[in-house]
Amino acid sequence: MNCDLMVGANVDVVNATSREVYEQLYPQYFTGSQPFDVEGTMFTVSWDVEEAPVFDLTPPPSLSEAALRAHLTEGPAGGWIAEGELAEHVTALRDSLDGSTFQVRLNRVHIKVESGDGNPVEEDIAVTVDVQATTSGTGMFSLDPLKATADAPSKVDKVFLDKVVLPNVLDQSRKVLSGITLPAPQIPGLALSTPVPVIQPQQAVAALNLAEHGTPQPPFPDSWPQSPFFALLGRDAVERIAQVATAYLEGKPFHAGGSKDFLGSSAYYKADITIHNVRCEVVWDDVPTVRVHTAVSGSGSAGINWIWGGSTDAFFDLSLEPDPTVTLTLAMSGATLKATAVDVSSFDLKLVPTRGDIVSMIVSWVVDALSSTFGGIVGSALRGVEFPVGDFPAIPIDVDPVHLDVTPTGLTLARFGDALALQGDVTVTKR
């Protein structure tokens, strides 16, 4: 996978949402009438979209070489581009549309044309709307209808179709689709690139990178999980999320100290250690795990304050060896992917004298106390590591008076090629 994060849904999810929106909005939207004058005769043209729009996630035929050349050379554009430069302009135009355009089919639009003579002309036609998925400055996806076309009618005069029905269908499509914005996934502490829409047969996908990797560039994958909803996270994304989430461990200090009476004299120890050199590793098993490696070291002192006065003191360096490692598993919690510590590797306390010798009568006490204290508090801190890897929010649909949320549900984890896959379904609920 040549990008860090991809989130997508198949065409069935898109069309289930389309039906819900249609049922809520009809007949406030999808119907209408308009007077239209033809050479002094006034007609009333009515239209009624009698079935829910069907999203066909395939590129429109207008992306063909011939259609793009015609767009650049015919009509108002004719003569502006030299023949030698045409190929370059065709390529640029295709690049701006390819992978982001698709079709919405209105399979049954009932048209009625009345002139007042009591003999209305009626016909059912199919209308196709070309739509482009674009990205706003805030990183939100929006859907922008480009044009509406229909097969030539057999009963209704084509002028009514071209001048009244198609412009109104296109305008209402803009109003409806403008209420559908697709938010990017939220990953705590991580900056993501602007999302890129990837429209492929039967799949609508958003591709994102870590900000430092720039905007995703094609080629994009041509095979996807078969679940209705999915999110794919690459190794770099999971590793960076772990690094950001565990950064708080770097420099985390721990203190230990105590005292004890020995034959009337007071023995003591005190030490401070710090976690440092925190580094993360993704182990790419069937379900990837995250390992957080750390180094822990510090220094301290121990001695006896004698009952008759004076003291014997020793100083030492401390470290935990081998370097402690936390293993975290990844699991879903609702629509949030979480990493939770399940194991901390074994380690021992290593004490290296730097000045003076610890009085022999308290050596065991000091070493046992430091091992127990630091082993407990460091182990507890590492076992408590838990963080969200990513949150996949509901998709809001707001076309007054309809307010819906499309929410991922039942998400499970698995490998998909070289990515971690979250797969599930969606529910559509009123807000």
241 confidence band (pLDDT: 50, 70, 90): confident
SS (H, E, C) 230-297: EEEEEHHHHHHHHHHHCHHHCCCEEEEEEEEEECCEEEEEEEEEEEEEEEEEEECCCCCEEEEEEEEE
β-pair type (41-49, 31-38): antiparallel
Average pLDDT over residues 300-320: 94
3-state SS class at 190: coil
Q: How many residues does the chain have?
A: 431
Average pLDDT over residues 91-115: 81
Place of tokens 């580094």: 279
Evaluated on CA atoms 418, 422, 428, 431, the torsion sign reads negative
Residue 185: pLDDT above 60?
yes
Query: What are the sequence ranges of the domains in the chain?
Result: 65-98, 247-384
**Looking at residue 209, what DSSP letter applies?**
-
**Exposed, middle or buried, 251 (CB in 10 Å: 0-12/13-18/19+)?**
exposed
Structure token digits, residue 131: 């739509």
Query: Is the separation of the CB atoms in 331 and 301 below 8 Å?
Result: no
Place of tokens 């002192």: 301
Q: Give the pTM.
A: 0.75
Maximum distance among all Cα pairs of the chain, rounded to whole angstroms: 125
Q: What is the pLDDT of residue 317?
A: 97
Could you read off the pLDDT of 113-159 as tens digits, one per residue? Answer: 999 888 999 999 999 998 888 776 665 667 888 888 898 888 988 89
Q: What is the pLDDT of residue 305?
A: 94
Between CA 31 and CA 410 the distance in angstroms is: 37
β partners of residue 404 = 397, 430
Residue 75: pLDDT above 80?
no
Helix orientation angle between 83-97 and 65-73, rounded to the nearest 10 degrees: 120
Whole-angstrom CA distances from 76 to 71, 93, 94 are 9, 16, 19
Amino acid code (one letter) for 117:
D
Q: What is the pLDDT of residue 71?
A: 59
Dihedral angle over CA of 304, 310, 312, 313, nearest 10? 90
42 confidence band (pLDDT: 50, 70, 90): very high
Average pLDDT over residues 249-257: 95
Average pLDDT over residues 271-292: 90
Query: Is the separation of the CB atoms in 265 and 280 below 8 Å?
Result: no
CATH number belonging to domain 247-384: 3.15.10.10
